Structure 1
Amino acid sequence: MDRVEDLLHEALSEYAVQGDAYLARVAERLSTGLGRGALSILMRVERFGGLRECDLTAQLRLPAAETRRHVDDLVGRGLATRTGDGSLAVVRVTARARDFLADAADERRGRILDSLGEFTLEEKESFARLLAKFVQRDDLVVRSLDLPQRR
């Protein structure tokens, strides 16, 4: 492996560790004992609106039983609602969870801006495009072309 790959691997590994720790803190702030898996479901449902349990299972690559367990937990905590039965049941975020997630997103954006504080505008734009390309999300590459012109 060449040096660039080693550096990328190290940086992405550290980023994953930091991301896991961040999600664990956010989950705990939202509801004591809530796990990252359930929070991931909640965040995805908030992002895309109501989602069927089978779609959550496919998108998050989880076993159906694990998805169901997380959704049961979220419903029991009053953070999500479920309409319908089985894998076709639609999961939605409650107002309480929506408000919390909006605040968490604002905090996350602030942390990202702080981390990018020493970057030039051109470096920020380049980083956004390259990261979107690296994770093979063409929709993010296209959207990154319209980045706000902030310094």
Structure 2
Amino acid sequence: MKLLIKPIENQYSNAIVDLILNIQQKEFNVPITIEDQPDLFNIQNFYYAGGGGFWGAFINDELVGTIALIKFADHAAAIRKMFVKKEFRGKEFSVAQNLLNTLISYCLENEIDNLYLGTISKLEAALRFYEKNDFVRIEKEELPKEFPLMKPDNTFCHLTLKN
């Protein structure tokens, strides 16, 4: 089983929506619908056009994880849509770690020095993962004013990429 991470666009919208909504709604009961996430059908304009990106993790041609980046200032961006299918979580596959490494490499190559993210406090494993990767929790008030807030998010993190 070989893990492949590559940039993906709208041709994968249905697979992306299927993966993300299942995790959000069925696994974690997050009160969010597809209507709340129109970006998933307009990946090119929403993520790539502003200097961000959207990556998919594939095992045997199956989409098993996603991560996206919204660049919202010259040297700052937000992580979005970080989801890994339940069966592919953990160290055995390292899908999340490989997705995050891909996104951070992109940031370093593109002079993005500050990474932010918003999540939901009950996603404790995700928060532990980010903290293990040197993200620091911050208060909502500490976010840059341009940060693209998502309604359900109540926990925020920051990572400085520049030494």
TM-score (norm 2): 0.31
Query: Comparing both chains, which one has the higher relative contact order based on Cα–Cα distances under 8 Å and sequence gaps of 6 or more?
Result: 2
Higher Cα Rg: structure 1 or 2?
1
Higher helix fraction (1 or 2): 1
TM-score (norm 1): 0.33
Higher strand fraction (1 or 2): 2
